Structure 1
Amino acid sequence: MGVGGRTRARSRFGLRAGGAAVAAFGALAGSLAGASGAAARDGAGLPYSQVEQVAHGVTYGQFTVAGGKGAVTGYLLTVDLSDPRVRVDLLTPGAVAERAPVSRLADTAQAVAAVNGDFFNITDEHPGVTPTGSSDGPEIAGGRALKAAVPDAQRFGPAMPPGGTTRDVLGVGADRRARLDRLTLAGDLRTRQGSHPLGGFNQYALPEGGIGAYTAGWGTVSRERAVCGSDTSRAAACATDTYEVTVRRGRVTAVSDAPGQGAIAPGSTVLVGREAGADALRALRVGDRADVSERLVPAASRVPYAFAVGGFTVLRDGAPLPGLDATTAAVRTAAGFGARGRTLYLLALDGTAAADPGLTVAEVADVMRRAGADDAVNLDGGGSTTLVTRGPGQAAATVRNNPSGVAERPVANAVGVFSTGR
């Protein structure tokens, strides 16, 4: 829906709705502000001017805070993961190397709310190479790993705080608790000549000398970007020593001197190698035995993840991380959790730059703490920042913030919220 739809929604649920609505707003805002230990400890919370129950266990609030560059409007979804009617999952366009607006992702999946997710390969420094639209970090949707993280030097987005990596995620486990974690690719190619570790899985950039595995989940976009850049520079030249092998049912079925494009048949795996990785693949012939395996290994949790999205940590155990950018204000998106992982918070800022100058990463960490989060990550911002809701009886999602572009930007993924029994 357009800006007109957002304006109607705000006036309908705003403070002008009358005394009964104001009283209800006050009670619900108080409940929101005290929803977690962090806000209760500080007695802070956020100054909500509007609060709305979207669905069972899902609340939407609007607020204004003072940033270093001026007043900023924010929008917050509070999600009760302890409610059995509520769940969270990663929304994708259907392929790793594909993009779609958040509202379309929410409508397709019938989510009641969503915010945009991870940073992604939106442009490219390599002439003639097609941007893939694929995200920086790992993706898990419906309990299934979709991709692994690109090398740190190849990521898009602002500088991470010290110690951060593209492998960092916010996820929700099968136990319905949110966590911060780090997902590392564990996989290999086994042939008669020996075993070779995988350096990538459905990701737009491979480490130097690496081998990457690509499945039908990648999509149809060219895999050429995978061999561009280096371990120290995203803009470094594309490798000229490359090789590609297709494996199906444990046998090599095709080989090529360069990365290809187009759909990958279900059940097939395309292996792309650069430098030493290309040399290893070049030893294979059509008909040779080859077995490929890949999985994402969590650093902290033994509970399988139902959902995970990449983002860099800004808040841990109720305290902002050292080294966060406290200078550059921008439109931002963030996700965090409190109540020992039982309450999820999804934040988006307004994108009307003339009126809302944005917040620094350090300020976003503080807003998430005030909202009630003990731990939080920064997600993609700028023109990607989008928060949508779909209330009872609504056929389509409503965009609640004002995106900074003329329209919603297509994004690689989104955090979707679902609620049954509405």
Structure 2
Amino acid sequence: MKLQKGLLCVLLALILGTLGLTSALTAAPNETAYRGELPLGNPGLKETRTTERVTPGVTYTRIVRGEESKRDFYTVDVAFRADRAAAEEISARLRADGYKPRVEKVSDRAPDDPADSPSGYLVRVGKFASQAEADALRAELTTDGYAGTRTVYTGEDGGKTTGPWVVNVLKVDPDRYSGTLAPELATQIVPERELLTGISARTGALAAINGGYFVIGPNDGTPGDLAGISVLEGDLVSEAVDGRTSLVLPEGDGAGSDVAALSDELSVRSSDGATRLVDGKNRKPGLIRGCGGEGGDAPTEAPKHDFTCTDPSELILFTPIFGAGTEPGEGAEAVLDASGRVTALREGRGGPIPPDGSVLSGTGEGADWLRAHAQPGRKIDLSERLSGEGVRIGEGTGVVNGGPRLLSGGEPEITAFAEGFVYPENPEFYYRFGERRNPRTLAGTTSGGDLLLVAVDGRRPGYSVGASFEESAGIMDALGSDEAVNLDGGGSTGMTVGQRLVTRPSDTTGERPIGDAVVVLP
């Protein structure tokens, strides 16, 4: 009987290998079952899957699909123009300078974009087998006065290719997993960032994945501040980019995790009866990364990804999770004790935050409101309301910002236009961000209650080309998700398993420090 079982295992392995679907026999079948091959490239591409059990109820699967295409090459993007005439004008100039340009139409737009014309036209020069050759041409073009050029690999264009792709999947089954799944703030305070490997080691995580969008440089706000909603153990840390889709993690083992569009309303009422909108929480006043706020933000109160809106008159609430002190600058600040009583009114910003209280920091009209209604001894009541269809934020709930939504009810629903990933005045932004293939971090839930955390390696020609938004939706559907959201990607994409980094950083400098992560704890 043992010999027969052994022969059956060998036969099964041979069959799987022939089909290009191999899997390590280290996890129970019901822990790793997915809907089918990944919809990347043509059907039937070689696909291998290796699965290991991280802990009961949590598996890590590495999927490798396809191979480098002989049709893909390196080229130089000289310009992107919304209309063909403008692209042809640049092309004519290039020809006059001795180059051999080509103009390529970019037809696709975001699925929810109301416009139906081609999104634009690329002007390109050169076809090279190596990046070094393309970089040399790019340097020559720069010398000849062509600014803003970039070297690109056509396998990342978003069109037909054979890959390859490397997709890393963490699957959490709350019925079997007995640990804790939660967001973790980098450095444990809002300012500054931390490597995913550092977060994983510090928390003793069994596995971890990078989280939401965040501020990188001081010109866009507080570095490390989450550029969207952040909720830790039921407490709002960062305000929402209103209406943008996020990952909701109830307290505990991941049971009841959800993908939902969230909004918030923050306001204060003084004991003298005056009320005012609170513009944000734990960030630099006046700079709103990702926009999507209210109260006079310019140029828009709608979401606008990777863009910093401004507002000279704001009221920002700082809590101890921001660190020792508030952001410095002109304005006024009211220091509140744990009951909301004003203990001090300070001229200028940048003072200490009481460990058991908070600080209201105002600029412009916001500072004037504090001077008029937040004198010492007054009581300030804070109102915070989070809303999202079918979502309940409990005491232990965590929220990680993201966007756009990818799946809803088991069907593709890519809300890129609605969530600010399309600039009508600059269609190149969506082409670069959503249509081209990039490293992606994805999260989704299944009808059976499992949580999927996925990292797609990218910007690594010959290893993994990444995924477009449309391909990301297809990946999550094939893995069994009914609801799915895109999290921060690009150079931020990362996953650790057992303290080892299983993804390959796409930044030339290596692993990128991030703002938060989702950690799988014992």
Shorter chain as normaliser: what TM range?
0.7 to 0.9
Query: Where do residues 80-99 of structure 1 align in structure 2 (5 Å cutoff)?
Result: 80-83=173-176, 85-92=178-185, 93-99=187-193
Q: Which residue of 2 aligns with 1:140?
A: 231
Q: Which residue of 1 aligns with 2:453?
A: 346
Q: Which residue of 1 aligns with 2:62?
A: 62
Larger radius of gyration: 2
In the superposition, the TM-score normalised over structure 2's length comes to: 0.61
In the superposition, the TM-score normalised over structure 1's length comes to: 0.75
| Separation in 1, partners of 2:336, 2:415 | 45
| Separation in 1, partners of 2:261, 2:415 | 19
Residues 48, 61 of structure 1: 8 Å contact kept? no
Q: Which residue of 2 aligns with 1:408?
A: 511
Three-state SS of the structure 2 residue aligned to 1:63 is strand
Three-state SS of the structure 1 residue aligned to 2:370 is helix
2:284 is the alignment partner of 1:195: no
Residue of structure 2 aligned with 1:336, choices 423, 438, 444: 444
| Separation in 1, partners of 2:29, 2:234 | 35
Residue of structure 2 aligned with 1:373, choices 481, 495, 505: 481
Q: Which has the higher contact order (CA 8 A, sep 6+)?
A: 1
Shift of 1:48: 4.0
| Separation in 2, partners of 1:288, 1:203 | 26
Q: Which residue of 2 aligns with 1:216?
A: 320
| Separation in 1, partners of 2:28, 2:408 | 25
Three-state SS of the structure 2 residue aligned to 1:89 is strand
Residue of structure 2 aligned with 1:172, choices 230, 235, 249: 249
Q: Which residue of 2 aligns with 1:158?
A: none
Shift of 1:335: 1.0
Three-state SS of the structure 2 residue aligned to 1:107 is helix
Three-state SS of the structure 2 residue aligned to 1:53 is strand
Shift of 1:320: 2.0
Unaligned runs of 5+ residues in structure 2 are 1-9, 40-46, 67-157, 289-296, 298-310, 417-429
Shift of 1:144: 3.4
**Letter of the structure 2 residue corresponding to residue 89 of structure 1:** A
Query: Where do residues 4-403 of structure 1 align in structure 2 (5 Å cutoff)?
Result: 25=24, 28=27, 31=30, 34-35=33-34, 39=35, 43-44=36-37, 47-65=47-65, 68=159, 70-83=163-176, 85-92=178-185, 93-125=187-219, 131-149=222-240, 151=241, 165-166=243-244, 168-174=245-251, 176-191=255-270, 192-204=272-284, 205=287, 207=297, 208=311, 209-220=313-324, 223=327, 242-248=331-337, 249-260=339-350, 263-284=352-373, 286-300=375-389, 301-302=391-392, 304=394, 306-312=397-403, 313-322=405-414, 324=416, 327-340=435-448, 342-351=449-458, 353-355=460-462, 356-390=464-498, 397-403=499-505
**Which string of whole-angstrom CA distances, capped at 9 and with x for unpartnered residues, describes residues 4-60 of structure 1?**
xxxxxxxxxxx9xx99x998726859645635xxx2xxx446844311111111101
**Counterparts in 2 of 1:29 and 1:55: CA distance versus 1, 3 Å:** closer
- The Cα RMSD (Å) is 3.1
Three-state SS of the structure 2 residue aligned to 1:25 is coil
**Counterparts in 2 of 1:29 and 1:285: CA distance versus 1, 3 Å:** closer
Three-state SS of the structure 1 residue aligned to 2:511 is coil
| Separation in 2, partners of 1:48, 1:86 | 29
**Counterparts in 2 of 1:81 and 1:29: CA distance versus 1, 3 Å:** closer
Residues 111, 418 of structure 1: 8 Å contact kept? yes
Three-state SS of the structure 1 residue aligned to 2:377 is coil
Q: Which residue of 1 aligns with 2:130?
A: none
**Letter of the structure 2 residue corresponding to residue 223 of structure 1:** E
Residues 132, 221 of structure 1: 8 Å contact kept? no
**Letter of the structure 2 residue corresponding to residue 111 of structure 1:** A
**Letter of the structure 2 residue corresponding to residue 244 of structure 1:** E
Residues 32, 51 of structure 2: 8 Å contact kept? no
Shift of 1:389: 1.0
Shift of 1:322: 4.2
Q: Which residue of 1 aligns with 2:142?
A: none
Unaligned runs of 5+ residues in structure 1 are 1-14, 153-164, 226-239, 391-396
| Separation in 2, partners of 1:80, 1:384 | 26
Shift of 1:195: 2.1
**Which string of whole-angstrom CA distances, capped at 9 and with x for unpartnered residues, describes residues 103-159 of structure 1?**
221222222100000010002446xxx74211112222234333322x56xxxxxxx
| Separation in 2, partners of 1:296, 1:88 | 24
Three-state SS of the structure 2 residue aligned to 1:374 is strand
**Counterparts in 2 of 1:182 and 1:113: CA distance versus 1, 3 Å:** same
